[in-house]
Amino acid sequence: MCGIVGFIGKNPEHVLLNGLKRLEYRGYDSAGIAVKSTDKIELFKAKGEIKNLEKVILPIANADIGIGHTRWATHGKPDEINAHPHVSGDKTWAVVHNGIIENYTELKTKLMGFGYGFYSETDTETVAKLLEYYFAKDGDEISAVSKTISAIKGSYALGILKKDKDGIFFAKNKSPLFIAKAGEEIMLASDIICFKGFAEEYYPLTDGIFGYASRGNIVFYDKLGETKIAPVALDLGEYDNLNTYKHFMIKEIFDTKTALKNIIEYYSEKTNYDKLKDFDFSGITRVKFVGCGTAYHACLLGADMFCEKTGIEATAYVASEFRYQKVKLGSDTMVVLVSQSGETADTLAAFELAKESGAYTIAIVNVEYSTLAKRADAYFPIKAGVEIAVASTKAFSAQLSVLNVFAGIFAKKIGSETDPLSDLIKLYETFDYGNLNDFKLLADVLRYNDNLFMIGRGNDYYVAQEASLKIKETSYINSNTYYAGELKHGFLALIDEQTYVITFATDKNVLSKTLCNAEEAKARGGKVILCTCFDLSPSDAENFYYVVRVKELGNSLQAVLNIVPWQIIAYYISINKGLNPDKPRNLAKSVTVE
Ligand code: AGP
C-alpha cells in the first residue's frame, strides 16, 4: 500500500513532508511531491525513504497547493521514474495514487493509439493521461475526473492537481482516503493520523466518492451528482509519542496491557456487549475465520476458542486462499474477518465473497474508520490504539482477546452461562511482560542464525507460527515452524549441532509428547529452547539449552502470555543486527493490493 497526502495552504512542501513521514509505515521504497505555484507544477521525487526526498526539495515561490506520495511498489521497480506523482503528457495534471488499476494495460494501449507517450512502468501514469484525454474532449475538470474513474477498474485513492486550478481533485474506491478542513486550509490523507494537530474532525470518504477541494471549501460527488458527507470527530490519542522508546514496535508491545484494559472496559458496556442481540444465529452451522499474516494466526487460535466455547465447527482460512478454495458459504455460515487495518485487500476480497454468498459477516478490526469495520454486518473493535510498526504486536494480543470475548458472547447467545469476559479478566490480572534481560540475552544468541526452528502442538504451534513471523519480518532470519509430532516424519533431517529448536509447550494435554519431540531434536544435536508455563524438575530444566518461563493461565488466552516474550526477542534481534524493526525491508503496514 502507499501513502497519499494533499494540502492547500502556505508552505505546502513542509506540510506534505510531515504528512508523508507519518504515512511512511504504509510504504517507503520511494516518495515524491508535486507543488503548484502560480502557473506551473513542480515535481520532486527520490528513491528510498522520505529523508532522501527532503534533500532534493527546493522552496517554491507562491506555492500554496501540493500533493505527496510514499510508495510500496506494485507496478514498476522502486526508483525515481516510477515514484509518484505522475504527470500528463502536457504536464497539466499531476496524480498520486494508492491501489491497483487492474485494466491499466488495456487503457495504456488505447491511449498510446491516440498518440500518448509513457515514461514509467506504473499503472498510475495511465490516470494522468486519461485526465488529459477526457479534459481535451470536453474541457471540464470534474467531468474529466468522473470519466477517468469510470474508465478505470480496480482500487484507487487519488489526489490530483491541475496546473491552472487552485485546488485538489480527489477520488476513492477500495483504498482509504480522508479529507479535513481547518479554516481556509485543506488536508487530504490516506490515514487520519495525518490530521493530528491540523483538525478536530474529518470527512471519511466512501467508495465511489470524488470531488474538489479549494481554499476553505470541499465539494463531494457520487455517481448521481453533488452529495454531502457528515464529518466525524478525530480521536487519535497519543499514538505518535514514542516517549522513551526508540521504536514504535517496542512501545506497542509494552502497550499490550493497556489494550487488554481497554477491551475489558469497552465490552463491559452493555451496548457493546450486546452487539449480537439483533442477530438470529439459530441457523448457523459453520463459522469461518479469515485473515492474513498475523491476523491469520489470530484466526487459527480464534477458531479453536470459538469451537471450544460454542461447540460449533469453526475453521481458519488465509484470506488470499479463501476465494479459491471450495468453501461452502450461505445464510447458515458466519464469516469472521480479522484485520488490524481493516483495509487489507485480500481480506476485503474475502469479505465481498462472504457478503455475496449471504453469509453473516463479522469484523474484528483495530482501525475503527476502516472499510471492513464500516461494511461488516457487525463490528467488534479490538481497542488496541493506533499501531504504527509494520510488525503487529499489541494488535495480535488484542485480536486474540476480542476473539475470545466474541466466542463467549456468541456462546452466551446460544445458552452458555459463562461470563464472556472471564478469560480476559484473568489474563489481565495475570499478565506481565516477563524478564527483559532474559529476552535480550536470548536475542543476542539467536541473532547469528540464518535459520531458526520452532515446534509445538495445537495452539502452541499457532503461537510458534506467529513468533516465527515476527522474527522473519523484523530480522530477516528464516524461522520456520513445524508440528512437533511431525519432526520424525522428515524435518529431523534438518537438525544438527548448530540448530536452535524453540519448543512451545504450554498445553498440558500434549506436554509429555511435546517434550519427547524436543528430546528427539536434542538427541540429534539440536539446542532446545523450551517455552513453558509448567514447573520442571531441576534435571529436566538442565536438559534444555534455555527455558523461557511464562505464567500459567489455564485458558486459551495463554497464547498471549506465550507470544509476548517472542515479540520482545524479535525486536532485540532486529536492533542487534542494526535493522529498523519499525520499517522492515520490502514490507508495508497494511497491504491494500492483492
Ligand atoms: C504482521 O506483523 C504483518 N505486518 C502482516 O502479516 C499483517 O498481519 C497482515 O498484512 C495483515 O494485516 P491486517 O491485520 O491489517 O489485515
Q: How is residue 531 written as a grid cell?
A: 517455552
Give the model's confidence band at 321: pLDDT under 50 very low, under 70 low, under 90 confident, else very high: very high
Q: How far apart are CA 157 and CA 129, in angstroms?
A: 17
| DSSP annotation of 174 | B
pLDDT, residue 1, reads 67
Helices 558-576 and 436-446, packing angle to 10 deg = 50
Instruction: Give the mean model confidence (pLDDT) for residues 522-539.
Output: 92
**Looking at the predicted structure, is the pLDDT value of residue 59 above 90?**
no
Q: Whose CA is nearest to atom 6 of ligand 1?
A: 293
Q: Which ligand 1 atom sits closest to the C-alpha of 291?
A: 16
User: Of all atoms in ligand 1, which is nearest to the CA of residue 590?
Assistant: 15
Check if the beta carbon of residue 363 is closer than 8 Å to that of residue 391.
no
Provide mean pLDDT across the span 304-324: 96
Amino acid 236: pLDDT: 80
Active-site residues: which are they?
2, 589
Q: What is the rounded distance in angstroms from the CA atom of residue 212 to the CA atom of residue 217?
A: 8
295 CA from centroid of ligand 1 (Å): 6
Judge whether residue 28 has pLDDT over 80. no
- 586 within 8 A of 578, measured Cβ to Cβ: no
- 569, pLDDT greater than 70: yes
Residue type, 153: K
> pLDDT tens digit string along 349-381?
999 999 999 999 999 999 988 889 999 999 999
> Residue 179, by phi and psi: left (phi above 0), alpha (psi -120 to 50) or beta?
beta
Amino acid making up residue 469: L
CA of 236 to the centre of ligand 1 (A): 20
Which pLDDT band holds residue 536 (cuts at 50, 70, 90)? Answer: confident
| Residue pLDDT, tens place only, 457-498 | 999 999 999 999 999 999 999 999 999 999 999 999 999 999
| % of the chain residues with pLDDT over 70 | 99
Q: Report the amino acid identity of residue 567.
A: Q
Q: In this predicted model, what pLDDT tens digit does every residue of 233-264 receive, in sequence order? A: 998 877 777 888 999 999 999 999 999 999 99
Q: Parallel, antiparallel, or unpaired: how do β-strands 232-233 and 201-204 relate?
A: antiparallel
Q: Rounded distance, CA 575 to CA 573, Å?
A: 6
Amino acid 68: pLDDT: 97
Distance, CA 292 to ligand 1 centroid (Å)?
Answer: 6
- For 469, other C-beta atoms within 10 Å of its C-beta total 21
Instruction: Give pLDDT, residue 425.
Output: 98
Phi, psi of 453 (to 5 degrees): -120, 120
- Average of per-residue pLDDT values in the chain: 94
Gap from CA of 171 to ligand 1 centroid (Å): 26
Starting at the edge strand found earlier in the chain, the sheet holding 478-483 runs 478-483, 451-456, 500-505, 527-532, 546-549
Using most ligand atoms within 8 A of CB, pick from 190, 340, 479 the residue to mutate for ligand 1.
340
Q: Which of 156, 172, 27 is nearest to 104 (CA)?
A: 156
Q: pLDDT tier at 542 (50, 70, 90 boundaries)?
A: confident
Residues within 6 Å of ligand 1 by CB: 292-295, 339-341, 344, 347, 390-392, 473, 590-591
Does residue 540 carry a pLDDT above 90?
no
- Measured in whole angstroms, the distance separating CA 64 from the mean position of its chain's CA atoms is 33
Start-to-end C-alpha separation, the chain = 10
